[in-house]
Amino acid sequence: MSSRLDQVEESATLRIADLTNELKKQGKDIISFSLGEPDFDTPKHIIDAAKKAMDSGKTHYAPSLGIPELRDAIAEKLRTENKIDVKGKDIIVTPGAKHAVFEACFGMLEEGDEAILLEPAWVSYDACIKMSGAKTVWVKSNEDGSIPEDLSSRITKKTKLIIINSPNNPSGTVLGAKDLKKVADIAVDNDLYVLSDEIYEKIIYGVKHISIGSMIPERTITINGFSKAYAMAGWRIGYITGPKEIFQKMVKVQQHTISSPTTFVQYGALEALRGPQDCVEEMRKQFEARREVVIKGFKDMGLHCPTPEGAFYAYPRVEGNSEIIAEKLLEAGVGLTPGSAFGPESNDHLRMSYASSMKDIETGLERMKKVFGGV
């Protein structure tokens, strides 16, 4: 049995979702706020494009790195929106951003390497680092999500990679130009790579998303996907671009693990990029409205909960063990993710995904008030 996998935790977000489903099966009324998936259906024009592709025989293997039209469209998006100077040939289309993270880690890390993970962090980075045989070095972000002063002091001869995720899951914080410059300078000074997961780029409230790949392209691996911005989580489609030496390695991982991303799904993704974009803004606005209600709700409960600038999560601080509190909340009929899932020092937080209907959010907050108190 693989000892590498012994060190990898089962996905805590999926575990709580399973527990929630189990309780639901037993007849308990539970509203789940634990999964990071938009509740909206995929916009119709995207579905139509994929249906049309299926009907016209796009059901064979695709080129391993993705259909050329989609790779070109992604490159154009990265050039115009993110100021990353790439061409279609520099893009790998992956079955979700998650697999892209795996490809990047597996492609560049090896036994003895260290990768820096800013805490709190989405659950799968640590797993991908460990599955690649490397070690995770957790560095706690400042309370406001900014880059901590001690980041450079945590770099050793073994450090190869820093992973950043802005807007952040779970905290919703967004890294501004100053913080990104700090990371970029550290990467240059220490000859490191940066993996930038930008999957929540479009779900942002009043601040600007900046790609670190526009600052240090020769050191940045940029990952993005369609699950969040276009409500396409179940389609499993994302993408990655990065420096040539890493790209070549990731190509091998892609070819020998998935062959190619699902062919007709790629036509849906192409329509997502090339078609009308108002659906993205409509969903973003709804997330923003829900954010207001959720943040006010937590404040009314007396919890410290900074207003997130992006993504669709609220990340209140709680007193006590987040896993025990999450269980209490389940008994009260709401499923939240314990902060312990997001790093060794995050057990004093809970994550609530507000990618749920306003009605469920309002009912959920009422139920939480019974646990936390408040007006």
Q: Which of 278, 373, 337, 254 is nearest to 17 (CA)?
A: 337
Q: How far is the CB of 278 from ligand PLP (least distance, A)?
A: 22
Give the nearest residue (CB) to ligand PLP.
96
Radius of gyration of the chain (CA): 20
- With respect to ligand PLP, which residue has the nearer C-beta, 35 or 75? 35
- With respect to ligand PLP, which residue has the nearer C-beta, 96 or 242? 96
Q: Would you tell me how many other CB atoms lie within 10 Å of the CB of residue 360?
A: 16
Distance CA 160, CA 157 (A): 8
Q: How far is the CB of 161 from ligand PLP (least distance, A)?
A: 16
Q: Which long-range contacts (CB under 8 A, 24 or more apart) does 299-308 make?
A: 300/369, 300/374, 300/375, 301/368, 301/369, 301/372, 301/373, 301/374, 302/372, 302/373, 302/374, 303/372, 306/143, 306/144, 306/171, 306/173, 308/167, 308/171, 308/172, 308/173, 308/205
- With respect to ligand PLP, which residue has the nearer C-beta, 36 or 316? 36
- With respect to ligand PLP, which residue has the nearer C-beta, 33 or 122? 122
The residues of the shown chain that bind ligand PLP, judged by CB under 6 A, are 36, 96-98, 122, 165, 169, 197, 199, 225, 227, 233, 238
Q: Would you tell me how many other CB atoms lie within 10 Å of the CB of residue 286?
A: 18
Q: How far is the CB of 225 from ligand PLP (least distance, A)?
A: 3
Q: How far is the CB of 371 from ligand PLP (least distance, A)?
A: 25
Q: How far is the CB of 331 from ligand PLP (least distance, A)?
A: 26
- With respect to ligand PLP, which residue has the nearer C-beta, 98 or 130? 98
